[in-house]
Structure 1
Amino acid sequence: MIAVLLFLLMRPGTVSTIGTVTFENPDYCAQKGSSVQFKCFYNYSDGETVIQTSWFKGEIEDGIFQRVNLSLIPSYQNRWEYRGDHQHNCSLALHDLQDKDTGYYFFRFDTYKYGWRSKGSVYLSVTGVHAEVKARRARAGDNVTLECRTSCHYPNIVWLRDGHLVTKPKFTAQAEDAGYYSCSIEGHESVQSDPVALEVWYSPLNVSIDVSHGEYLTDGSNVSLTCSSAANPAADTYTWYRSSVSSSNSLLWLGSGQVLTISPVEASHSGLYLCQAQNRLGKSNSTAVMLAVGEEGPSCFTVLRIGLLVIVGLLLLSLVIIWAWRQWRNSHYSAAVNETDSHDYENILSITEGK
């Protein structure tokens, strides 16, 4: 019986259970959609030559566990890459990992005399990443915690909000923190979890007034003031106030609504206007805007603007005149000097003196 076993082991192509295949790490955990590389090394007797290498996946077929060559599994087509050689390196790379890639992997190499296969195996666990936001609806000022769930242990998790890097997984919520959050493994940022939304509620911010009028207001004209703000939930109450030009300490209630229309405008409507926006979380006031109403014709601001333009125009004209005068003077001075220094004049003078 022993002789028969020895005979089978010595036959070319026969699988030997005496293998020297070593896996650097027998247990891998990788993110779905990413790539992984099994580091593998093998040895054999001196004088032998390796003619073939193969990687196998453990599959259950008809209730029986079998080793199936990766080249024969359609789902692995163009996704596995042998990075070893026919010497001692038997490393394998798998790309675009899928859930069904989870399982045991084996290596085999053949020489002219024997076929060797690994006694042990590499186990690959393929996992996804799942983003979770504690309290998906938060008020401004609340604490928010981001959690990235995965069956693998990864020391470095990367968080992104609407595609932009988030530096801390724990923070105090502000209006600008609202958005969609996703997580990934550092070094594999291209593979991200499904995004989860964070909604932040806050009282009105950046309350402002838009005034619809021309360059000046005159008696009998119309004007509309529109109040706007950033708020979540949106502001549902707008209140208008006015203070007189002479006394800005006392405010006069004008009414409610996002738009305040004054028609027709009178001189008594001059003053500072402000609006107050409010939602269920709080309220905030706008910066006051000035309305000045005068008689028909340009306002004092328009007159002042025209006056300034006239002054600037006169200054520019004066500079042009001075520059032109200097150019004229310099040209005539140069001509006089040239005439005095000419050779013809010197010759005539010398002849006269000789007489």
Structure 2
Amino acid sequence: MIAVLLFLLMRPGTVSTDGTVTFENPDYCALKGSSVQFKCLYNYSDVETVSQTSWFKGVIEDGIFQRVNLSLIPSYQNRWEYRGDHQHNCSLALHDLQDNDTGYYFFRFDTNKYGWRSKGSVYLSVTELHAEVKPQRARAGDNVTLNCRTSCHYPNIVWLRDGHLVTKPKFTAKAEDAGYYSCCVEGHKSVQSDPMALAVWYSPLNVSIEVSHGEYLTEGSNVSLTCSSAANPAADAYTWYRSGVSSSNSLLRVGSGQVLTISPVEASHNGLYLCQAQNRLGKSNSTAVLLAVGEEGLSRYTVLKIGVLVIVVLLLPSLVIIWAWRRRRNSRNSASDKETDSHDYENILSITEVKITTPN
């Protein structure tokens, strides 16, 4: 047993208090809500036998520092656990740590001859994790930094966004990065910091048009086109444009507001319709919706559809070649120059068919 005690005395960080009690670590730092274990060893003469062991907390009562048995402190009820024995192990575990658990702890044991108590102590510091998100309001493309503050040293901090793992504490803000961030120590996900919100501002994305009527319309009926988008802050201005089927490069402004209502539908309404959503950060256009009015409109639509099909067929081989060349070039450069995600969204004109026929 003497050899064991000498071994502990020689270990880095091991402190001998009075020759009878040895604390493995005199200074602990732990998270609020977690558990901690004080490891210690006590020794006595061979002619003695241990009859009782006790742990005490140092408290100040009426201006006087006293040692109070943990079993007599109501706040420690069902939270402390003696993991030692009546031989030489005097380890103590504390669970669900609270702020007022910070302080000094002492050990005492009684034998059939003497009562021994440690002159030295174990000091426990209870701390919390505090998440910082800078800035808390960012525009898409801004740099965001996550910082987890604590008085303890934890090199293995883990970040979560709405409960999902975040791989990097520094990143370029995108729309999908908005949410609530919290930090924890790896392996202790149950003890997390209070969440901190990140708001990401961005111009309208995924602008689209929804048509109120069914697939087949009759001239003289009503039709409403509704524009929607994802944006933060929400889009506060909508502008509608129309172009003729035969001259899609020329756009004519035909209305404003989130909903464009055409009543009644006439042949002059034939053409491509698109909406532009805007907030204070920017604007973006939707894909186009085709209104083919009457027989003339349907004929133009058919010609346009065939023309688009022919163009696609003619351009497809060239597009395949270009795609293969760019993929090969990107694979060569990926090792030295990794591309970052782009937040500029290109509006691609596509055609959604809405047929409007004249009644027989």
Fold similarity call, TM over 0.5 = yes
Structure 1 residue 48 displacement after superposition: 2.0
Q: Which residue of the partner structure matches residue 23 of structure 1?
A: 23
Amino acid at match of 2:246: S
| Superposition pairs of residues 9-158 of structure 1, within 5 angstroms | 19-158=19-158
Amino acid at match of 2:68: V
Report the secondary structure of 2:188's partner residue: coil
Contact 2:246–2:300 (CA under 8 A) maintained in structure 1: no
Flag the 1:255–1:57 CA change in 2: closer, same or farther, 3 A: same
Distance 1:162 1:299 in 2: 53
Distance 1:84 1:187 in 2: 26
Distance 2:300 2:241 in 1: 25
Q: How many residues align?
A: 283
Which ranges in structure 1 are unaligned for 5 or more consecutive residues?
Answer: 1-16, 302-355
Which of the two has higher C-alpha Rg?
1
Could you report, residue by residue, the CA deviation over 1:184-234 in whole angstroms, capped at 9, with x for unpaired residues?
Answer: 222221122211111110000000000011221221011000000010111
Could you report, residue by residue, the CA deviation over 1:113-147 in whole angstroms, capped at 9, with x for unpaired residues?
Answer: 11111121100001111111111111000001111
Contact 1:217–1:294 (CA under 8 A) maintained in structure 2: no
Per the normalisation by structure 2, the TM-score is 0.76
Distance 2:188 2:115 in 1: 38
Flag the 1:105–1:299 CA change in 2: closer, same or farther, 3 A: farther
Contact 1:162–1:181 (CA under 8 A) maintained in structure 2: yes
Contact 2:99–2:126 (CA under 8 A) maintained in structure 1: yes
Distance 1:173 1:57 in 2: 48
Distance 1:261 1:201 in 2: 30
Could you report, residue by residue, the CA deviation over 1:210-269 in whole angstroms, capped at 9, with x for unpaired residues?
Answer: 001122122101100000001011111111111111221221211211111111111221
Contact 1:213–1:224 (CA under 8 A) maintained in structure 2: yes
Distance 1:44 1:300 in 2: 103
Structure 1 residue 152 displacement after superposition: 1.3
| Superposition pairs of residues 164-203 of structure 1, within 5 angstroms | 164-203=164-203
Q: Which residue of the partner structure matches residue 293 of structure 2?
A: 293
Structure 1 residue 19 displacement after superposition: 4.1
Contact 2:245–2:300 (CA under 8 A) maintained in structure 1: no
Distance 1:132 1:35 in 2: 25
Could you report, residue by residue, the CA deviation over 1:136-176 in whole angstroms, capped at 9, with x for unpaired residues?
Answer: 11100000111111111111112111111111111111111
Deviates more, 1:136-145 or 1:215-224: 215-224
Structure 1 residue 18 displacement after superposition: 5.1
Percentage of matched positions with identical amino acids: 89
Amino acid at match of 2:38: F
Q: Which residue of the partner structure matches residue 248 of structure 1?
A: 248
Amino acid at match of 1:33: G
Q: Which residue of the partner structure matches residue 8 of structure 1?
A: none
Distance 1:300 1:251 in 2: 17
**Structure 2 residue 228 is the aligned partner of structure 1 residue 214:** no
Distance 1:269 1:221 in 2: 12
Structure 1 residue 21 displacement after superposition: 0.9
Contact 2:18–2:120 (CA under 8 A) maintained in structure 1: no
Amino acid at match of 1:238: Y
Structure 1 residue 299 displacement after superposition: 11
Which ranges in structure 2 are unaligned for 5 or more consecutive residues?
Answer: 1-16, 302-360
